[in-house]
């Protein structure tokens, strides 16, 4: 329920005071470094203005090929991701309540699990002695192992697996607001399942699809872990090229020019999505709102969309009718929820999401020194090697300390910002949320590179403080999003009642507001911690030497040897994340039940 809040001068200033710390923090450690990166790309070593770095970007055949590879791979991964994610999102939004919670946990576990862990798992599954080759040889399908790794195929598998939770969660947020009574009304008037879906449900869910496509594509542009570990030389992407220019060539100007070019491309992509697909503003929970277009172009686009929807609906009904004829089944009621084909697709994709954990965990108990399937023997030696290694211990402790500190800072800045956005009116409020969301919308590699340039000037490279600040920049948006979702469901009249009874604002917040929003508060803290604990890109640029984090230590080990020790570390992280998500769901359910009891 939305509560109208009168706009007064003291409330206006209160909103600005609450959101100002987050705005200033991001301005200093995100906006300014990104803008400073532009100056590095147009200044030579002598400090003179130059465009030579940009000339090198567009004149080099190698760099040009990498840019082309990046767009081709990103576009392919985005298309596959969105197509595969839609059935799962549809089932989560319209399926039976009994399975939604379980499926949501399954989707969230890979979302919060390290990208390195997932990449290691796919190396085990697709390797020459991996799950797929061993299974095909055992079944007699092939005589010799297939070369599945270090190819376009393995790169696609890894990227789609990494991007799919983002697309699912984005589309679910849009689909949950669709009135299912519209489907019932259409079916009552005689519409078949295919027409109900394509002419009613899909157009209403299209803003979420378009938003998920945009976010997935931008995220895929900055991916480098999967191409580096699963792909070959032909699958090299911009993120790898930037890291190469820094680590091997020490060419800061060229790396900055490449990064700025990619940032401009990201902006162009957002503008094109807005112009072509009619996406509205980002609402903070991953949902886009369709804008009502006017004019001849909008009318033509609407007519074309209706014609396509009608054709797809007719084709779907024909296919469903043929399937019912072959299997002698009755037509399903469109009001009964997802059909059989949707259920099959959903559970197949869910298995794809959980497959890395299913095979990586048993492999971590192997008695041999190599990752292979099936694992040979049973041993805990790789867990002992991890727990007894000073290097692994220091990296783990460092990640925990940095993650905890990052979570505290992110909650300190993010929670007041969420209160300002939901309870106050002030100038430029409409621009505040998109500004706060920029660090997670921009390609991750660009954010990390810009921080590296800025932190190098102020002496924060290689320090824990630099890592904490860098992680906080990326974690604050998650805190704001989580708290927005919590506060939008909070009845502000409870606070107003407390004020009316004489409670001071601070007392009302402590005794009324905080107990009711504590679930969102805890969830925000945990999400910020996990986001920091898993962060690799910033750690690659900001940390150095022995002052490394657990993800960076795993990255370094992966280049030397992907062995059972990495599998053991990955298993611990998977179990750790799964326990956190289950705990969050339990706390959330307890909080909802407590809220209903109090009401």
Using DSSP's 3-state secondary structure scheme, residue 459 falls into: coil
Q: How far is 415 from 427, CA to CA, in rounded Å?
A: 20
Q: Which CATH number applies to 385-490+518-574: 2.40.33.20, 3.40.920.10, 1.10.3720.10, 3.60.20.10?
A: 1.10.3720.10
Least confident window among 72-86, 293-307, 513-527: 293-307
- Neighbouring C-beta atoms of residue 358, cutoff 10 Å: 12
Query: Average pLDDT, stretch 463-476?
Result: 92
Write down the pLDDT at residue 538: 87
> CA-based diameter of the chain, in Å?
81
Q: Report the candidate in 216, 226, 224 with the shortest Cα–Cα distance to residue 151.
A: 226
Q: For residue 279, what are the β-bridge partners?
A: 290
The DSSP call for residue 455 is H
CB neighbours of 532 closer than 8 A, spacing ≥ 6? Answer: 399, 402, 403, 406, 407, 471, 472, 474, 475
pLDDT-based confidence at residue 140 (cuts at 50, 70, 90): confident
Backbone phi, psi, residue 248, to 5°: -100, -40
Integer angstrom CA distances of residue 561 from 172, 369, 557: 39, 10, 6
Q: What residue has token string 């998920």?
A: 212
Q: How far is 174 from 214, CA to CA, in rounded Å?
A: 14
Query: Average pLDDT, stretch 304-326?
Result: 58
Write down the pLDDT at residue 2: 42
- Neighbouring C-beta atoms of residue 177, cutoff 10 Å: 13
Write down the pLDDT at residue 279: 46
pLDDT at 288 over 60: no
| Burial class of residue 378, CB neighbours in 10 A (0-12, 13-18, 19+) | exposed
Write down the pLDDT at residue 281: 39
Which comes out higher in pLDDT, residue 106 or 501? 106
Query: Average pLDDT, stretch 122-148?
Result: 86
Identify the helix (H) or strand (E) that includes residue 282: strand 279-282
Contact between 145 and 129 under an 8 Å Cβ cutoff? The reply is yes
Q: How far is 567 from 473, CA to CA, in rounded Å?
A: 30
Which comes out higher in pLDDT, residue 366 or 583? 366
For the chain, the domains span 385-490+518-574
Q: Report the candidate in 460, 463, 444 with the shortest Cα–Cα distance to residue 452.
A: 460
Q: Cis peptide leading into 374, omega within 30 of 0?
A: yes
Q: Report the candidate in 269, 294, 295 with the shortest Cα–Cα distance to residue 210.
A: 269
Which comes out higher in pLDDT, residue 49 or 588? 49
Write down the pLDDT at residue 92: 83
Backbone phi, psi, residue 281, to 5°: -75, 155
Pick the most confident of 180-184, 410-414, 448-452: 410-414
Which comes out higher in pLDDT, residue 185 or 410? 410
pTM of the full structure: 0.74
Which comes out higher in pLDDT, residue 433 or 513? 433
Q: Report the candidate in 472, 587, 579, 576 with the shortest Cα–Cα distance to residue 520.
A: 587
């Amino acid at each position: 329920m939305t509560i109208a809040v009168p706009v007064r001068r003291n409330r206006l200033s209160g909103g600005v005071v609450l959101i100002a710390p987050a705005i200033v923090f991001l301005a200093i450690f995100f906006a300014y470094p990104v803008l400073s990166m532009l100056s590095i790309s147009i200044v030579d070593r002598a400090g003179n203005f130059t465009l030579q770095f940009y000339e090198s970007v567009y004149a080099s055949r190698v760099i040009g090929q990498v840019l082309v590879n990046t767009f081709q791979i990103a576009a392919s991964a985005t298309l596959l991701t969105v197509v595969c994610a839609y059935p799962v999102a549809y089932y989560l939004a319209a399926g039976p309540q009994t399975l939604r919670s379980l499926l949501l946990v399954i989707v969230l576990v890979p979302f919060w699990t390290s990208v390195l862990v997932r990449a290691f798992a796919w190396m085990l599954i697709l390797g020459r002695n991996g799950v797929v080759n061993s299974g095909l040889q055992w079944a007699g399908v092939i005589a010799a192992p297939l070369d599945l790794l270090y190819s376009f195929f393995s790169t696609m598998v890894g990227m789609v697996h990494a991007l799919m939770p983002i697309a699912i969660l984005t589309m679910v947020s849009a689909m949950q607001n669709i009135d299912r009574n519209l489907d019932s009304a259409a079916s009552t008037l005689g519409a078949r399942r295919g027409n109900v879906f394509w002419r009613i449900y899909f157009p209403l869910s299209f803003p979420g699809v378009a938003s998920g496509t945009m976010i997935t594509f931008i995220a895929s542009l900055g991916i480098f872990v999967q191409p580096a570990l699963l792909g070959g030389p032909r699958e090299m992407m911009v993120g790898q090229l930037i890291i190469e220019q820094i680590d091997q060539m020490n060419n800061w100007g060229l790396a900055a020019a490449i990064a700025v070019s990619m940032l401009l491309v990201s902006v162009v992509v957002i503008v094109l999505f807005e112009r072509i697909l009619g996406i509205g503003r980002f609402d903070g929970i991953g949902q886009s709102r369709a804008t009502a277009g006017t004019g001849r172009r909008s009318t033509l686009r609407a007519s074309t969309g209706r014609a396509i929807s009608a054709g797809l609906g007719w084709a779907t009904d024909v296919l469903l009718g043929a399937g019912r004829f072959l299997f002698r089944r009755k037509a399903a009621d469109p009001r009964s929820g997802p059909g059989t084909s949707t259920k099959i697709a959903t559970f197949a994709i869910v298995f794809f999401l959980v497959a890395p954990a299913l095979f990586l965990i048993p492999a971590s108990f192997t008695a041999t020194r190599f990752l292979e399937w099936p694992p040979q023997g049973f041993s805990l030696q790789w867990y002992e090697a991890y727990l007894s290694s000073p290097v692994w211990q220091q990296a783990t402790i460092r990640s925990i300390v940095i993650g905890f500190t990052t979570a505290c800072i992110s909650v300190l800045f993010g929670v007041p910002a969420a209160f300002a956005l939901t309870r106050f009116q002030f100038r430029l409020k409409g621009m505040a949320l998109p500004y706060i969301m920029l660090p997670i919308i921009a390609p991750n590699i660009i954010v990390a590179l810009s921080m590296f340039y800025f932190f190098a000037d102020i002496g924060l490279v290689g320090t824990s403080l630099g890592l904490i600040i860098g992680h906080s920049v990326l974690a604050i948006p998650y805190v704001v999003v989580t708290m927005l979702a919590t506060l939008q469901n909070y009845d502000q009249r409870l606070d107003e009642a407390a004020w009316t009874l004489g409670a001071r604002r601070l007392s009302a917040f402590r005794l009324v507001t905080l107990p009711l929003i504590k679930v969102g508060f805890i969830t925000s803290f945990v999400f910020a911690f996990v986001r920091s604990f898993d962060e690799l890109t910033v750690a690659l640029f900001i940390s150095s030497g022995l002052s490394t984090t657990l993800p960076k230590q795993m990255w370094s080990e992966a280049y030397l040897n992907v062995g059972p020790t990495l599998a053991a570390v990955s298993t611990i992280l998977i179990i750790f994340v799964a326990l956190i998500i289950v705990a969050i769901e339990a706390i959330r359910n307890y909080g909802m039940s407590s809220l209903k009891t109090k009401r």
